[in-house]
Structure 1
Amino acid sequence: MKNTALSTLGFLMNYLDIQTVSMSQAIHVDASLVSKWKTGKRMFSGKSVYFDAVVEYILSQSQKSNHQLLKNALLQLYPHETVQETVDVESLLRQALTNTASHEASRQHQLLSDSTDAVSALIFEGNEGRRQAITKLIDYAEDMTVPGEIIFLDSEEYIWLLEDEAFSDQFTERIFSLLRRGFHAKFVLDYSSYRDRFMQLFSACSPLIFHRNVEWYYYEYYDEHIMNFSFFILNHAVSLLGLSVGGEDPSTMVFTDTSLVIRHEVLADRMIRQCSCAFTTFHPSEFEGVVNDIYQFRRKGAFYTYLPAPAFMSSRESLMREILTDNGISEAEIQQQLMVNNRFREVTSCHFLEGETQREPFVFIFQLEEMLRRIKKDIFISRSLTILNGKEIRITKRQYAQEIRDFVQDLMQYDNMQIVFVSEKDNIRLPSVNCWCKRNLWMVQMDQEGFRLSDEIGIVNSAAIALESCVKKVPPERKEKNSVRQFMLELADEMESDVNG
């Protein structure tokens, strides 16, 4: 390997991968002069009129790695120094550049120069550095014109996210905004025998639990890892590799070399295939399978439902039969759907069960403005029945009024049933899917693509906590029984009055 003598400036330029032409353009001098400074053929010292400009340019390039590369280079020149704050970096940089000694090109630079597959990386230290690296990844995603996929595969239990509440809120908001643009995300969780931290994670990022574009995976282990490594990848574009020993002093490396990012994606995909999926996905036609899966869990547990408006797939049998008949559904299909309907009502309407000494709460959360929008329409489409039937199922005002009256009857009959109206004015981020959640047991989510079911207790209970928190933020007049009863009866009366002319 050929050794090359360099000035201190040349040594630093090589270490930071600063090109001669780039520096010459930045400080407005001929590239040949910078080349001579670099090799030491022309002395560069603190007396040069370009000294401050060179220092400023090196610091600006060093900022890309949060000064980590520059710190490492300076520590090679001054191994007994400590370099912490930016001001120390600048001071030591100025001191180094006044040294006229020559240096060999760093072994690191020679090694990379001899390798055809060499790539560069930005390095960030500690959990604060991990947050900075994640922020850069999200910045990059936000600048993309075509939505992509982000993978969060963390073997360090997302400590970097949970220890900073403000960052956690900002992270959730920015990821949620990307999801609205069509991005997809995968979160992989390493479960130790202690799951408290993951309850914290789900609570901190609860809006992400309710988004269909997010997939959740987990891997259970019971021995502490000695070596931890994590991947955070934005498809084909950016890869973050996190390393730590015993969870202490983590380092995060940022790569943008496409071939390396793709290799990391392949490795991450292989790891994900070894994990368990927190949700089981069902096609719209497989709703019976969803009901059968949750039917076996008919045990106690607080029940929360979020629906923009009542879901007619759980209507009373007589009303559901009428709706399906009016929409031309065959008798055989009606019988099949009524069987599923009855079983689903048994699971999601446990306030009907007798003989309980203490009944668990059953809370139905509806979206106020959506309820009001529907009463203005003579006919509207039932999303739930449309998904089940594979064709548009129309609901009349009279049928909508009847469904509301059925809810009122149940509300006043059962003490443990509550109906809550959430308004857009409440400034509450609502789930982007219809959701039925049985605390400690299961959660079903539904959207136009179908259903997904989770019985992973951490996600299920965090969803229940999020919905419970939503209820607490609603003013009393939109959740107190008598107020809700009066409001719903007024809606039903108004619709029936419109029908009767």
Structure 2
Amino acid sequence: MTERRKMSGFGFLLEQLGIPTITIAKRLHVDPSLVSKWKSGDRRISKKSIFFDEIVEFLIEENDRQGGYILKDPLKKQYPLEDFEDPGKFRYFLQNMIADEKFSTPSNDFIGNKAVREVKAFLYEKGEGRRQAISNLLDMAEAQSDPGNIIYIDCEQYRWLLEDEEYTERWKERILNLLRRGFKAKFIIHFMLHKDEVLRFFELCSPLIFHRNAQWFYHEFYDENVYWFSFFILEHAASVMGMSMDPQQSSTTVFTDPHSIMQHKNVVEMVMKSCKNMFVDIEPKDTLKLLGVVRPQPGRNETIYVYLPAPAFAFTDPEIIKGVLLENNVIDEKTRYCMKANKLLTALMNDYLSRCDGETEIKVLFQLDEMYRKMFVEPFTSCSLSLLAGRDVIVSRKQIARGIRCDVERMRKFPNLKIGLTLKENNIIDTNMNLWCKKNNWLVQMDEEGMRFCDENTIVNATSTVLEMMWRKNPFAYKKKEDVEAFLLKWAEDLEKSPNDSPIIPENLHA
């Protein structure tokens, strides 16, 4: 058993706050030896002392400066039946503890056992404390010279994050910046069926969900593996552990010792084994299999949402594709594969637009700013054809114009194919990404790194809801059929007239 040090209540409180003897000696303008005697209990501090009120004020100020909760724990141990949320009670019992002649330092009967490992931890309270702890964790990550790994598992549906939207925006941008640096992140979503919270999280943080350096996991059934702990781990640096049974009763503890970090990581990995990966990567060679999964089923009032930075040339007229592939010297085998995919994709779209008696809508949102950049400023690389062909496929402005005219003709042929134009400031989702989403069923993400498929209902429905919100908020002129047709045809005309290597600004860029 470790021998207890002799210490007064005053000395114990100073130690909890980490205040050196010299600091309070300077505050009170007394010799440090007197403070040392007060701390050890060799000299008593009476409530009648001229220094007593100043000591109380000093301790309260320091406690507030450090978060307002550090002294509550020792007071609770000394007076377990009392509630210290009331400032008056807090001050009263703080005074009693300072003046208590019979105070005995709380023992730690665990220390001395060979099976015990003593660690240093930092405690935070409620959502505000959780946000501060996470901010400190991100400070550590940003200070690292080399990219590391971050793990998030949250049992509170990110309430601590969502209750402060300004903080959420900063948190999202900081995580995104780390991911851009090469950090890898794993998130385990533990959502119950609370649609509003899921939707808010998606609205505020969707770029993280679709980022390639972030892996997302979920429980297949919402009522299985219910747990009341959270971990936010920066490997080899720190672990933030949260415990919560109620929004008002959450607490957060930060550990920086390697043993605790490793133990917490092991817990998270065990939880992860019971989860499913939210996204399944689709190899280009498996594209045709994917098309079989997303084929339409007879139904009513179905909507397919499509979100594109530019026309997807894998869906365009086959003669246009042949011309593009020929210009890029794509070999015969790859050409045949691209043409087969195009045939199935065209049939798939036609099925959705005609087989269901017109009750299915396809709503396409073109990201106008990104579309302009790809078509008029830089050489346009077709993401879909490049993935299918296994190499970069550059599309000339003349072929882009033909593709645009093909989209207009398709819109005229099918009244339930609707095309809208959205500006960057109205985007909720990352602009440099292609998405296809069918509510209650599936979503497909495509970018230059490949394709991913998701059929997790919560995220699929959140995606479709956000895309519908974007469609409805879009100015009428940007989705009125006649106006969109005229806009696209004018762009096609501008592209046909311009040389391939010179940036141009179309007349109706923001018409």
Q: TM class, shorter-chain normalised?
A: 0.7 to 0.9
Query: Cα distance 1:169–1:409, how it changes in 2: closer, same or farther (>3 A)?
Result: farther
The corresponding residue for 2:172 is 175
TM superposition shift of 1:22: 7.0
2:28–2:51 contact (8 Å) kept in structure 1: no
Q: CA deviation at 1:409?
A: 0.7
TM-score, normalisation: structure 2 = 0.83
Moved more, 76-85 or 361-370: 76-85
* 1:82 partnered with 2:69: no
Distance 2:381 2:31 in 1: 71
What does residue 52 of structure 1 align with?
Answer: 54
Shift of 1:85: 4.3
Contact 1:122 1:254 in 2 (8 A): yes
After superposition, the C-alpha distances for 1:20-47 in whole angstroms (9 at most, x for unaligned) are 5776688787765543322112334553
Whichever residue aligns with residue 329 of structure 2, its letter is G
Secondary structure class of the residue paired with 2:348: helix
Aligned-partner Cα distance in 2 for 1:227–1:498: 61
User: How many Å separate the matches in 2 of 1:31 and 1:344?
Assistant: 82
Any conservation in 1 of the 2:9–2:104 contact (CA below 8 Å)? no
Q: 1:197 to 1:480 in 2, by over 3 A?
A: closer
Structure 1 residues 263 and 408, CA gap change in structure 2 (3 angstroms): same
How much does 1:298 deviate? 8.2
Q: Distance in 1 between matches of 2:347 and 2:156?
A: 41
Q: Which residue of 2 aligns with 1:11?
A: 12
Task: Say if 1:118 and 1:26 are closer, same or farther in 2 by CA, change over 3 A.
Answer: farther
Look up the match of 1:261: 261
CA distance in 2, matches of 1:357, 1:294: 18
Is 1:478–2:478 an aligned residue pair?
yes
> Contact 1:232 / 1:240 at 8 angstroms: preserved in 2?
yes
> What residue is the counterpart of 2:329 in the other structure?
328
Cα pair distance change 1:244/1:395, threshold 3 Å:
closer
CA spacing shift, 1:420–1:187, aligned 2, 3 Å = same
Change (3 A) 1:426 1:443: closer
C-alpha change, 1:90 and 1:54, in structure 2 (3 Å) is closer
- Could you tell me how far 1:449 is from its partner in structure 2? 2.1
Q: CA deviation at 1:56?
A: 2.5
Aligned partners of 2:384 and 2:152: how far apart in 1?
Answer: 32
Tell me the equivalent position of 1:138: 135
Question: Is the CA contact (8 Å cut-off) linking 1:202 and 1:458 kept in structure 2?
Answer: no
CA shift in 2, pair 1:424/1:92, >3 Å: same
| Partner Cα distance (2:293, 2:117) in 1 | 50
Contact 1:226/1:245 (CA < 8 Å) preserved in 2?
no
Q: Helix, strand or coil: the match of 1:241?
A: strand
Looking at structure 2, the residues matched to 363 and 296 of structure 1 have their Cα atoms a distance apart, in angstroms, of 15
Q: Distance in 2 between matches of 1:21 and 1:91?
A: 26
| 3-state SS of 1:68 partner | coil
CA distance in 2, matches of 1:308, 1:226: 39
Shift of 1:11: 2.5
What's the secondary structure of 1:402's corresponding residue?
Answer: helix
**Residues 299-350 of structure 1 deviation map (CA, whole Å, 9 limit, x = unaligned):** 6631111111112222222111211111011111100122122223333554
Distance in 1 between residues matched to 2:363 and 2:279, nearest whole Å? 23
- Conserved 8 A contact 2:422-2:474: yes
- The answer to whether the Cα contact below 8 Å between 1:211 and 1:433 also exists between their aligned partners in 2 is no
Aligned to 1:495: 495
Instruction: Describe the shift of the 1:225–1:315 C-alpha distance in structure 2 as closer, same or farther (beyond 3 A).
Output: closer
1-structure distance, mates of 2:348, 2:334: 21
2:388 alignment partner in structure 1: 388
In 2, the alpha carbon distance for the partners of 1:429 and 1:28 equals: 60
Name the counterpart of 1:417.
Answer: 417
Per-residue deviation, 1:443: 0.6
Q: Greater shift after overlay, 252-261 or 301-310?
A: 252-261
Aligned to 2:94: 93
Per-residue CA deviation, residues 129-155 of structure 1 (Å, 9 max, x unaligned), is 045313431343146234544433234
Instruction: Check conservation: 1:377, 1:397, Cα contact below 8 A.
Output: no
Distance 2:358 2:475 in 1: 26
**One-letter amino acid of the counterpart of residue 56, structure 1:** F
Counterpart of 2:309? Answer: 308
Give the match's secondary structure for 2:407.
helix
Return closer, same or farther for 1:267/1:77 CA change in 2, 3 Å cut-off.
closer
Instruction: Give, in whole Å, the separation in 2 of the partners of 1:224 and 1:440.
Output: 21
**2:161/2:167 contact within 8 Å kept:** no
Structure 1 distance, partners of 2:427, 2:463, is 18
SS at match of 1:443: strand
SS class of match (2:366): strand
Paired residues of 1:206 and 1:462 also in contact (CA < 8 A): no
Cα shift at 1:274: 2.0
SS in 1 for 2:71: helix
Seen in structure 2, the aligned counterparts of structure 1 residues 370 and 160 have a Cα distance that, compared at 3 Å, is closer
Name the residue aligned to 2:363. Answer: 363
Deviation of 1:177 after TM superposition, in Å, equals 4.0
| More displaced stretch, 456-465 vs 196-205 | 196-205
Alignment of 1:157-236 (within 5 A): 157-160=157-160, 164=163, 167=164, 170-171=167-168, 174-182=171-179, 183-190=183-190, 194=193, 196=195, 199-200=198-199, 203-205=202-204, 207=206, 208-221=208-221, 228-236=228-236
Instruction: Return the letter of the residue paired with 1:174.
Output: W
Q: Which moved more, 1:366-375 or 1:444-453?
A: 366-375
The 1:476/1:191 distance shift into structure 2, 3 A limit, reads: closer
Alpha-carbon distance in structure 2 between the residues aligned to 1:466 and 1:341: 28
Q: Please say if 1:435 is aligned against 2:435.
A: yes
In 2, Cα distance between the equivalents of 1:313 and 1:227?
45
Structure 1 residue 94, shift from structure 2 partner:
3.7
Amino acid at match of 1:216: W
User: C-alpha distance in 2, partners of 1:59/1:111?
Assistant: 32
Q: Tell me the amino acid that sits aligned with residue 213 of structure 2.
A: N
Matched-pair contact (CA < 8 Å) for 1:319–1:399: yes
- Distance in 1 (CA, whole Å) between partners of 2:297 and 2:397 is 35
The letter for the 2-side match of 1:345 is: T
Does structure 2 retain, via aligned residues, the 8 Å contact 1:439–1:460?
yes
Judged with a 3 Å threshold, the aligned counterparts in structure 2 of structure 1 residues 380 and 189 are, in CA distance, closer, same or farther, namely closer
The answer on whether the counterparts of 2:316 and 2:407 sit within 8 Å (CA) in structure 1 is: no
